[in-house]
Amino acid sequence: MIAPKEQDVKIAVEGLDFFYGQKQALHNITMDIRENEVFAFIGPSGCGKTTFLRVLNRMNDLIPYTSVKGSVRIDGQDIYDPNVDVVQLRKAVGTVFQKPNPFPISIFDNVAYGPKANGLKNKQQLMEIVEDSLRQAALWDEVKDRLNESALGLSGGQQQRLCIARVMAVKPEIILMDEPTSALDPVATFKVEELITELKKNYTVVIVTHNMEQAARVSDKTAFFLDGVVIEADETNNIFTNPKQKETEDYISGKFG
């Protein structure tokens, strides 16, 4: 059997340490994330998975007294290089947060927010981007008749898909998701998971999740974090059926977590 050709490496992390003040939160992480794959981070609370996610688009820069050692390369470019423009980086690496955070403005304006910030003013073009993004986020049919109503009137699941559409409107290459379904009910969760599977055709998706079934359902690869260390990273199948490390097995079988 011929192994399927592996995609190019999109994100290459090497020897990454991360500190909150003096406290080290991530230890010597090395990891390759390939194009068009869904990569899941699992692990107990406080293990560093969200911190690591936020390293990938430098959202941790917003937290005072944090520092990074090692390298993170996206398409070969070190994103912590002083010449890198954080604004450009975050356009290419979008984030969907744990709690849906639509702006208190209309549905249309939420999706058009990013394009407008980039100077796009043409109504026609904005409309096209908004429709396209909402379709990709599988929300278009539910909101097409009320684009000018407040986004806060949507249900939690709809708000989260709106936030996904908002990210897609700036045409990123990578989408980071920080426990995107933890605030949603099972039906809304199912819809978002379907969407994630759909997204990997065009994007590289990195998802932090508390929910191991979710990681098993949506991801191609999984990394297990514990106390700021990546214990094991492999094909999702291998992690769940044939873990190599004792800690991974204990966590997956529910012995702790």
Partner 1 sequence: MVEFKPNHLVRVKREQMFAFTMLSLAAALTVLILLAIVFYVMAQGLSVISMEFLLEEPRKMGTEGGIFPAIVGTVYLVGLIILIAAPIGVGTSIYLNEYMPDGRFKSVLRFATELLAAIPSIIHGMFGFLFFVIALGDYTGGWSILSGALTGVVMILPIIIRASEEALRSVPSNLKEGSLALGTTRWYTIKKVVLPLALPGITTSVILAIGRVIGETAAFLLTIGGSLLMAASVFDGARTLALHLYLVAMETGNVQMAFGTGAVLIVLILIINFAAAALFKLLVKRFSA
In this chain, which stretch among 9-17, 162-170, 200-208, 238-246 interacts with partner 1, using CB under 8 A? 162-170
Rounded to whole angstroms, how far apart are CA atoms 71 and 74? Answer: 10
Q: What is the DSSP secondary-structure string of 106-168?
A: BHHHHHHHHHHHTT---HHHHHHHHHHHHHHTT-HHHHGGGTTSBGGGS-HHHHHHHHHHHHH
223, β-bridge pairs: 41, 233
Angle, helices 107-117 vs 156-168, to 10°: value is 20
Check: CB of residue 41 under 8 Å from CB of residue 67: no
Cα-based distances in Å from 142 to 75, 134, 146, 158: 36, 10, 9, 9
Check: CB of residue 110 under 8 Å from CB of residue 162: yes
| Minimum CB distance to partner 1, residue 23 (Å) | 17
- Asked if 23 is part of the footprint of partner 1 (rule: CB under 8 A), the reply reads no
- Asked if 104 is part of the footprint of partner 1 (rule: CB under 8 A), the reply reads yes
Per-residue x/- marks for partner 1, 126-155, CB under 8 A? ------------------------x-x---
- Asked if 19 is part of the footprint of partner 1 (rule: CB under 8 A), the reply reads no
Check: CB of residue 16 under 8 Å from CB of residue 30: yes
Nearer to partner 1, 68 or 92 (CB): 92
In this chain, which stretch among 4-12, 38-46, 75-83, 92-100 interacts with partner 1, using CB under 8 A? 92-100
- Asked if 95 is part of the footprint of partner 1 (rule: CB under 8 A), the reply reads yes
Among 77, 88, 125, 237, binds partner 1 (CB under 8 A): 88
Check: CB of residue 108 under 8 Å from CB of residue 100: no
Strand, helix or coil for residue 87: helix
In this chain, which stretch among 84-92, 126-134, 138-146, 185-193 interacts with partner 1, using CB under 8 A? 84-92
Per-residue x/- marks for partner 1, 172-191, CB under 8 A? --------------------
| Minimum CB distance to partner 1, residue 86 (Å) | 9
In the numeric block, which tokens belong to residue 103?
Answer: 């702006």
Nearer to partner 1, 205 or 233 (CB): 205
- Asked if 207 is part of the footprint of partner 1 (rule: CB under 8 A), the reply reads no
Q: Which residues bind partner 1 (CB under 8 A)?
A: 57, 59, 62, 64, 87-92, 94-95, 97, 99, 101, 103-106, 113-114, 117-118, 150, 152, 163, 166-167, 170
